[in-house]
Amino acid sequence: AQKITQTQPGMFVQEKEAVTLDCTYDTSDPSYGLFWYKQPSSGEMIFLIYQGSYDQQNATEGRYSLNFQKARKSANLVISASQLGDSAMYFCAMREGTGNTPLVFGKGTRLSVIA
Amino acid sequence: NAGVTQTPKFRILKIGQSMTLQCAQDMNHNYMYWYRQDPGMGLKLIYYSVGAGITDKGEVPNGYNVSRSTTEDFPLRLELAAPSQTSVYFCASSTHRDRLQETQYFGPGTRLLVL
């Protein structure tokens, strides 16, 4: 079974609008961490934001925020005030357990920002 | 600070040839990883290492070998290249801190084409 599911292969958003990228996960471990990475066309992977399963509040980092709904096992990335430079692939990833274990990645969502 | 470096950036191999993908990091990170990214897919873990002399298989280790003789370097060896190994290979590293929230820092990737 897929551990991380990203159901949107591609998304379009108008510049300056907000967009939500979906991520659902599957784990029976009560302790886990969720990550979002951005991959621009240049290919590098850029860390955006992290949410821990025991965190009381939704994570925020600048224009990025995470809509964490634990009961629904979803960790959607919200990008506010989209910019042309936000056009990229976005990957959701999860780590289970309590330590620095390897990440499992979803298939990604391609976001295109339109002027 | 160079971070994580990978060489070569691009390589074409013939079926049955062998090669080593180089990865080095200068952040004194104990944890290092190799992933492959197939077109339209997320990253899949090939091998990882939690320190010099210690390596472990990931999700897709067949056809690959690794070694970790120093903290800085983590080369990936392909012994008998096959077309199924055509992919983009990413090396990543992470600190020694055994915490859920430790992010991974990625290299720029190596694009490999096996013909």
Predicted local confidence at residue B61, as pLDDT = 96
Is A31 near chain B, with CB under 8 Å? yes
Contact A78, A67 (CB under 8 A): yes
Contact A26, A1 (CB under 8 A): yes
A107–B41 C-beta distance less than 8 A: yes
Segment 43-72 of chain B within 8 Å of chain A by CB = 43-45, 48, 58
A50–B101 C-beta distance less than 8 A: yes
- Nearest CB among B95, B104, B105 relative to A103 is that of B104
Contact B24, B71 (CB under 8 A): no
Nearest CA in chain B to A51: B101
Nearest CA in chain B to A45: B106
Predicted local confidence at residue A97, as pLDDT = 83
Task: Answer whether residue B108 shows pLDDT above 80.
Answer: yes
Number of Cβ within 10 Å of residue B57's Cβ equals: 13
Task: Answer whether residue A1 shows pLDDT above 70.
Answer: no
B103–A100 C-beta distance less than 8 A: no
Round to whole Å and give the CA distance between A43 and B108.
Answer: 6
pLDDT in tens, B31-90: 999 999 998 888 999 999 999 999 999 999 999 999 999 999 999 999 899 999 999 999
Q: Which residues of A touch B54 (CB under 8 A)?
A: none
B100–A99 C-beta distance less than 8 A: yes
In this prediction, residue B1 has a pLDDT band, given cuts at 50, 70 and 90, of low
Residue type, A71: A
How near does any CA of chain B get to the CA of A39, in Å? 10
Matching residue, tokens 């080369």 = B75
